[in-house]
């Protein structure tokens, strides 16, 4: 089988449980690498440089754009967010499946540049549950929660652009399901070109 990893983009409404899900996926399975984005937004309490994000000034970020160091970038609520290229390429070559947790504009740009990318959209089972999770997380004021619920309405318009819809109801089930979907993706025939060529050559020699 071809050894190169798969580029996986995960998007979803704020509060859908993407962060929780990714953390568990990386804990439960070895073969994943999570890309760490660069951003111009300020760190939230508890966030660390190089763990949640690489925190940049606007000038530094624009230099990264100019030097083509980002696979994609987007503006989201007045800040830049982007995916550093070097880490992603290295991990893919090493055979890791690389997960980018990014919003929809970036997701579509990545798919356009790299059509083999797998796009996954994470949603809770109901809109009411989305609100419960945002409230339960306790990290935002009610005003911000309303903004995020409004933003979710817009983001829902893009759900059909994704290859897979992942319903995060029971967390454990969801992590297993996500892993098995990705395993299935490895068996798509177009991902095994080298194997196919090898088999054809061997058969010619028989
Ligand atoms: P996101 O990264 O998509 O914004 P989080 O991972 O921060 O979302 O999750 C939002 C809240 O929902 C957190 O309080 C988290 O503990 C909770 N949560 C995540 N997944 C589930 C689940 N399957 N069932 C119940 N609560 C969940
Ligand atoms: P937050 O500020 O809440 O951490 O992230 C805001 C939004 O930016 C989220 O939807 C998150 O998925 C998205 N995001 C994080 N990193 C990137 C990135 O590198 N590129 C793009 N396009 N979006 C990102």
The answer to which of 12-16, 19-23, 38-42, 135-139 has the lowest mean pLDDT is 135-139
Cα 114 from chain centroid (whole Å): 14
- Ligand 2 pocket test target in 79, 88, 101, 103 with most atoms within 8 Å of CB: 103
CA of 73 to the centre of ligand 1 (A): 25
Q: Which atom of ligand 2 is nearest to the CA of 11?
A: 12
What are φ and ψ of residue 182, in 5° steps? -70, -40
Q: How far apart are CA 110 and CA 134, in angstroms?
A: 28
Q: What is the pLDDT of residues 127-145, one digit of tens each?
A: 999 999 999 988 888 998 9
Q: What is the pLDDT of residues 107-121, one digit of tens each?
A: 999 999 999 999 999
Cα 193 from chain centroid (whole Å): 25
Could you give the angle at the alpha carbon of 198 between the alpha carbons of 193 and 202, nearest 5°? Answer: 150
Q: In this structure, which ligand is nearest to the CA of 79?
A: 2
Q: What is the pLDDT of residues 52-73, one digit of tens each?
A: 999 999 999 999 999 999 999 9
Q: Is the CB of 18 under 6 A from ligand 1?
A: yes
Whether the full predicted model's pTM is greater than 0.85, yes or no, is yes
């Amino acid at each position: 089988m071809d050894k190169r990893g798969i580029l996986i983009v995960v998007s979803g409404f704020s509060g859908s449980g993407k962060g929780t899900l990714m953390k568990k996926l990386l804990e439960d399975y070895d073969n994943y690498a999570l890309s760490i984005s660069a951003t111009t937004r300020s760190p939230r309490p508890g966030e660390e440089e190089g763990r949640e994000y690489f925190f940049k000034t606007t000038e530094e970020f624009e230099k990264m754009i100019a030097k083509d160091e980002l696979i994609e970038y987007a503006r989201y609520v007045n800040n830049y967010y982007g995916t550093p290229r070097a880490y992603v390429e290295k991990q893919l070559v090493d055979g890791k499946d690389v997960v980018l947790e990014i919003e929809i504009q970036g997701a579509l740009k990545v798919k356009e540049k790299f059509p083999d990318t797998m796009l996954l959209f994470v949603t809770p089972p109901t809109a009411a549950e989305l609100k419960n999770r945002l409230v339960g997380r306790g990290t935002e004021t009610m005003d911000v929660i309303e903004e995020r619920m409004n933003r979710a309405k817009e983001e829902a318009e893009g759900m059909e652009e994704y290859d897979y819809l992942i319903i995060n109801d029971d967390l454990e089930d969801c992590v297993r399901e996500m892993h098995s979907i990705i395993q299935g993706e490895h068996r798509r025939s177009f991902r095994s070109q080298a194997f196919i060529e090898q088999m054809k050559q061997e058969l010619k020699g028989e």
